[in-house]
Structure 1
Amino acid sequence: MVTRRATARDRAAAGRAARKVAPRASHADYAPTAKRRDPIDVIEAQSATRVPELVPIRYGRMTESPFRFYRGAAAIMAMDLADTPRAGITAQLCGDAHMLNFRLLASPERNLLFDINDFDETLPGPFEWDLKRLATSLVIAGRQNGFTTRQRRSIVVSTVRSYRETVRNLAAMRNLDVWYAKVDADVVRTLFATHLHKAGRERLVRAASKARAKDNLMAFDRLTSVVDGQRRINADPPLLQPIGDLLPDVERAELEAAIRELIRGYTESLPSERRALVEQFEFVDMARKVVGVGSVGTRCWIILMLGRDERDPLLLQVKEASTSVLAEYVGPSRYDHQGQRVVAGQRMMQAAGDIFLGWQAVRGIDGGTRDFYVRQLYDWKGIAVAEQMTPEGMLRFGELCGHTLARAHARSGDRIAIAEYLGGSDVVDQAVAQFAESYADQNQRDHAALVDAVRTGRVAATSA
């Protein structure tokens, strides 16, 4: 029996019908439920599987401000989003779509693009979860910058409107045109040219130039030096620690052998031509690196490899991939390997990705088999500085993030159903803006709870 394929009209009708399942105005609602778990218990459960001596660094970073806390609290928000209304329309989610996970990146053709960067939590799920996490991050950053309630609401409403209008535009496009859609640096400059004042435009130009300079050679010059005639990764404990400083000789040799095997095995996840490229480089050194806020404590290594000579480096980041924080609420990944889950989600959502992106599992690290994914350490990456944004600048940045998120969701989700669900009015824009303010209040309470847990000695925190 042949199953009839849903037409565009069918998909549009499904989107409109979803308004009865979750009325658009219902996305304004947020209140903690009686069954809500202690937020400190939630992040402590994550810490239980991480490198013990690094966990206090994570807590130290999260206590610095509500905004930094939010960056490390994706698991807490996933728990809370699970109790909010769902339209029932699924897309591949970033899972941690806060504003600083949108940035400038390099395409394989060496063009500078604006896209989502972090996919550690990626899974298919309710499309509105990513949108709410993005919107709330803008409110929290706006509060930190001293923006008024009115200014923050304008920023979020503009961001959600940008998402909604982009999805509606994409819904009318052909599948291939959606897949090829991207935002490059020239488009960003054009979008902002008529909205930002001169200083804002100048900052944008500087950001693009800085991103282009942030490549393998910059990382090589900054992070390595010659020691006893051999190129080695510099020590900057506890954030960057070469393997020789971490382990005695026997254990170091075992771990180095495991990582060498990881690199060999990881190339099997690459297309053949990229596998051939990696095989032209030779392993030289490795070091443990502390990264981000939410990722602190996960096992992360940087690998120094050299090609034809000393000025032909390749620096790879090998990062542990754990079960997504979304899995408890939307179901497990179709991939048993968590590194493959991350890579597949990234390839689905990004317009263009890192040519070295791949995955592999390793036995014998901290007593078990652990999943990892691999990517370049630096590759033209430019990150926004929220603290330096004016209300106007954050509004334009939010619009760009909303546009980018819509394009990413349209590659995997039913863009026609999402577009019809959102509609042409600002109902969802206003609702998500209200949700974001309410959840920013919750985030502030949770941040205060962590600060209190550190003060009372329930958890240990250190600055680094």
Structure 2
Amino acid sequence: MAAKTQPASSGTGGQSTPGLGAHPTREQSVAAGKAARQLAPLKSHRDFSAAASRDPTALLLGQAESRVPELVPVRYGRMLVSPFAYYRGAALPMAADLTGMKSSALRVQLCGDAHLSNFGAFASPERRLVFDLNDFDETLPGPFEWDVKRLVASMAVAGRDNGLTAKKRRKVARATAAAYRTAMREFAAMSILDVWYARLDVEDALAQVKSDMPKKAARRTKAQMAKARTRDSGQALAKLTTVKDGRRRIISDPPLIVPIEELAADLDVDAVYAFLRTLFAGYALTLPAHQRRLAERFTLTRVARKVVGVGSVGTETWILLMEPDDGFKPLLLQAKQAQRSVLADYAGDSEYDNQGERVVAGQHLMQAVSDIFLGWQGVTPPGSGSADYYLRQLRDWKYSADIEDMNAAAMTAYGRMCGWTLARAHARTGDRIAIAAYLGGSHKFDRAVAEFAETYADQTERDHAALADAVASGRVQAQTGV
């Protein structure tokens, strides 16, 4: 593994080699946290001004160079839908903006794209519904406040799309930031073992707040939980596959889902299948021994390319139909290309040469529980250079909240869940005591980040309009309605 240069760190954590060097004492961590206020006073987190040379559209166009050409216009078309849709795809421009702001230099493992739609519920291996971060394509070590600002600003942008008043948006933003701050202070008072055991069980959380919820909201939440449990591999099989001539196949729905046999007339389908079987064999070796034994009982039979998300559109993503050796329930896996993190130019390169390993390692660090099929591999696709991938189940009780249906109360409650969850992820990977000391017990940080969120929501609306202008002028090609 090649050595990589990392920026100086004021804390532990991030993707660093465990077990090397002494960890600071509690007193040293508290001192480091308080000293960080000299680098970035709490009130400084409200400040944002766009650089004169700033060109977010150019940054987005630069990302297109490593993506599937025919899918890039779909990405821009999805970003045009609304300012919040734009924000979801604009992790790179925001990373460039954040690096120009004052930093605490208290590093953690960052999600890198911690907007509110990248949180959700999914099944734990014990078959409990848990709430956690669920997207780690951009994960990398960096200053903790970058994730917090990405999250809180997403609340402001989404709140505008939902018609919330400025007063209500600020309340949502402050509640989200306050949830992060108070949770971090709680984690600072806990043992590191208890921090690693902590997780947000959806059923337990609902039981605790049920008495404070309107009856209609409680019924709706229970219905959503029941719906989430139906979104498993069986439901995905019923929706995405069909049986024809006694064999299961993936249903074609271009351009969103396209079996490889339909992708191009000159495509060597046999070579693609050989590549993906090599990918699966290598990926299985990255799993723990007991999970590898399970994965190796499945055989790849069908493959289709899939369009996913907003920011990810254009990266190679494959649905793998896996048939079990017992002839019963097939499995759908997703193999997704992992590219260099958008944070790398600003926070330093990952210590991992394989970008799929970077994603998987970051996910294991930040999530309380992870998919048992989560693994990675690097291969050479037919007709192109080497590429890195990570694999996981396509669907396992996965549920994302309907953001556009949230009123102020629902968004406030959801923001608190996200804030607590992000703090827990950061507390696992950084110096939670130093961060808690830095944040303190007042509302200064909450108010500053909430003010930043409103300012950045203004910027996002301008950037969204700039993308629309670029499409109108022909600088950017977009395909809408997909």
**Category of TM-score, reference length = shorter chain:** over 0.9
Q: Deviations over 1:252-308 (max 9, x none)?
A: 111110001000010110011111101111111000000000000000000001114
What's the counterpart of residue 118 of structure 2? 101
Question: Contact conserved, 1:196 with 1:393, CA < 8 A, in 2?
Answer: no
For 1:12-161, list aligned pairs within 5 A: 12-36=30-54, 38-161=55-178
Q: Provide the rounded CA distance (Å) in 2 between the counterparts of 1:13 and 1:303.
A: 51
Question: Contact conserved, 2:299 with 2:325, CA < 8 A, in 1?
Answer: no
Q: Quick one: which amino acid aligns to residue 130 of structure 1? A: D
Q: Deviations over 1:9-59 (max 9, x none)?
A: 1101110111111100000001102232x1111001111110000011001
What's the counterpart of residue 432 of structure 1? 449
What's the counterpart of residue 4 of structure 2? none
TM-score by length of 2: 0.94
Question: Contact conserved, 1:102 with 1:383, CA < 8 A, in 2?
Answer: yes
Question: Given the alignment of the two structures, is residue 202 of structure 1 paired with residue 219 of structure 2, yes or no?
Answer: yes
Q: Deviations over 1:131-180 (max 9, x none)?
A: 00000111011101111111000001111111100000000101100000
What's the counterpart of residue 470 of structure 2? 453
Question: Given the alignment of the two structures, is residue 300 of structure 1 paired with residue 317 of structure 2, yes or no?
Answer: yes
Aligned length: 462
Gaps of 5+ in 1: none
Gaps of 5+ in 2: 1-19
Aligned counterpart for 1:162 among listed residues 156, 159, 179: 179
Q: Provide the rounded CA distance (Å) in 2 between the counterparts of 1:3 and 1:128.
A: 25
Question: Contact conserved, 2:271 with 2:382, CA < 8 A, in 1?
Answer: no
Provide the secondary structure at the position in 2 that maps to 1:319: strand
Question: Contact conserved, 1:192 with 1:201, CA < 8 A, in 2?
Answer: no
Q: Percent identity between the aligned chains?
A: 53
Provide the secondary structure at the position in 2 that maps to 1:124: strand
The 3 A distance-change label for structure 1 pair 3 and 73 is closer
Q: Quick one: which amino acid aligns to residue 251 of structure 2? A: N
The 3 A distance-change label for structure 1 pair 319 and 439 is same
Deviates more, 1:359-368 or 1:209-218: 359-368
What's the counterpart of residue 186 of structure 1? 203
What's the counterpart of residue 353 of structure 1? 370
Structure 1 residue 340 displacement after superposition: 0.1
What's the counterpart of residue 269 of structure 2? 252
Q: Quick one: which amino acid aligns to residue 404 of structure 1? A: T
What's the counterpart of residue 290 of structure 1? 307
For 1:312-323, list aligned pairs within 5 A: 312-323=329-340
The 3 A distance-change label for structure 1 pair 296 and 4 is closer
Q: Provide the rounded CA distance (Å) in 1 between the counterparts of 2:413 and 2:102.
A: 28
Give RMSD over aligned pairs: 1.3
What's the counterpart of residue 6 of structure 2? none
Q: Quick one: which amino acid aligns to residue 305 of structure 1? A: M
Structure 1 residue 378 displacement after superposition: 0.3
The 3 A distance-change label for structure 1 pair 444 and 281 is same
Q: Deviations over 1:191-236 (max 9, x none)?
A: 4324431222122111111111110100111111112321110000
Superposition misfits of 4+ residues, deviation over 6 angstroms: none
The 3 A distance-change label for structure 1 pair 312 and 5 is closer
Deviates more, 1:294-303 or 1:246-255: 246-255
Q: Provide the rounded CA distance (Å) in 2 between the counterparts of 1:3 and 1:287.
A: 47
The 3 A distance-change label for structure 1 pair 273 and 348 is same
Structure 1 residue 190 displacement after superposition: 3.0
